[in-house]
Amino acid sequence: MRSCAILLLVACLGLVVAANAVPAKAHVDVDTGKEARQDASDIFAEQDTRDDVVSLQNFEASHSDEMARDALPCKDDPAFKLQCASVSRAASAHMKARKFKVADEKSSAKLFDEAYRPNDSRHFKVDKSTTFVPESSQTFDLNYADGSHLRGFSGVDQVFMGSYKATSPFGVITDCNSPDFNGVDGILGFGLPKDGSDLPTPVLFAMTDDENKDTNAANLQRKFSFFSTDTAAEVQLGGYDPSTVADTMWYTPALSDEDFIVGASSLTFGHSPSDAVELLQFKSTSQKQYGAPSIMDSGTSCLVIPNDNMNGQLANVPWDDFAAKWEKGKNFWLTVGQKTWKIPFESWYLAESDQTCVQPSPAGMSGLLVGDVFFRQYVVEFDMTATRPVIGIAPLNKNYQLVQQPSLAEFELDRAPRSKLTLLRGDEIMYPAEHSEVLTQVDRIPIVNQKGTQYFMDVGIGTPKQQFTVIFDTGSTVFGVFANKGDLPGAIKNQLPSYYFSENLHSLAQVSATTTAAPWTLSRVAASPALTACIVVGNLAVVALAAVALRRRRGGAPGKGGLSVSQAA
- Our count of domains for the chain comes to 1
To the nearest whole percent, how much of the chain has pLDDT over 70?
66
Using DSSP, state whether 561 is helix, strand or coil. coil
Q: Answer yes or no: is pLDDT of 163 > 70.
A: yes
Q: Is residue 22 in some structural domain?
A: yes
422 versus 207: the higher-pLDDT residue is 207
pLDDT at 114: 80
Dihedral sign, Cα of residue 373, residue 378, residue 384, residue 388: negative
Range(s) of the domain holding residue 44: 2-62
pLDDT at 435: 59
> How do beta strands 164-176 and 454-461 pair?
unpaired
The C-alpha angle 166, 548, 208, rounded to 5 degrees, equals: 20
For residue 95, the number of C-alpha atoms closer than 13 Å in the C-beta half-sphere is 36
Contact between residue 207 and residue 220 where contact means Cβ atoms under 8 Å apart: yes
Q: Is residue 8 in some structural domain?
A: yes
pLDDT band for 225, please (50, 70, 90 cuts): very high
Q: What is the mean pLDDT of the chain?
A: 75
Instruction: Go through 28-50 and write b for each residue having 16 or more CB atoms within 10 A of its CB, e for each that does not.
Output: eeeeeeeeeeeeeebeebeeebe
Q: Is residue 138 in some structural domain?
A: no
Q: Is residue 518 in some structural domain?
A: no
Q: Is residue 9 in some structural domain?
A: yes
pLDDT at 491: 96
What is the C-alpha to C-alpha distance for residues 268 and 271, in angstroms, rounded to an integer?
10
Digit-coded pLDDT (tens) for 329-374: 999 999 998 899 999 999 999 887 788 899 999 888 999 999 889 9
pLDDT at 129: 98
Strand partners for 356: 349
pLDDT at 105: 37
Task: Tell me the average pLDDT across 147-171.
Answer: 92
Q: Tell me the longest C-alpha to C-alpha distance in the chain.
A: 105
Q: Answer yes or no: is pLDDT of 515 > 50.
A: no
- Residue 565 burial (CB count, 10 A): 21
Q: Answer yes or no: is pLDDT of 213 > 90.
A: no
201: left (phi over 0), alpha (psi -120 to 50) or beta: beta
What is the C-alpha to C-alpha distance for residues 177 and 116, in angstroms, rounded to an integer?
5
The Cα-based distances of 250 to 406, 416, 433 in angstroms read 26, 8, 6
pLDDT at 452: 53
pLDDT at 524: 33
**Of 229, 146, 149, nearest to 552 (Cα)?**
146
Digit-coded pLDDT (tens) for 258-304: 999 999 999 999 999 999 999 999 998 888 888 999 999 887 878 99
Q: Is residue 456 in some structural domain?
A: no
Q: Answer yes or no: is pLDDT of 527 > 60.
A: no
Task: Tell me the average pLDDT across 71-78.
Answer: 84
pLDDT at 326: 92
24 versus 145: the higher-pLDDT residue is 145
pLDDT band for 420, please (50, 70, 90 cuts): very low
Rounded to two decimals, the pTM is: 0.71
Task: Tell me the average pLDDT across 477-484.
Answer: 92
What is the C-alpha to C-alpha distance for residues 529 and 282, in angstroms, rounded to an integer?
25
196 versus 490: the higher-pLDDT residue is 490
The DSSP annotation for 504-519 comes to -HHHHTTB-SS--PPP
Q: Is residue 39 in some structural domain?
A: yes
pLDDT at 220: 86
The DSSP annotation for 168-221 comes to EEEEEEEEE--GGGTT--EEEE--PPPTT--SPPPHHHHHT-TT-SSBS-TTS-
Encoded amino acid at 216, one letter: N
Q: Is residue 11 in some structural domain?
A: yes
**Of 217, 215, 218, 235, nearest to 226 (Cα)?**
235
CA 163 to chain centre: 24
What values do phi and psi take at 280, rounded to 5? -110, 85
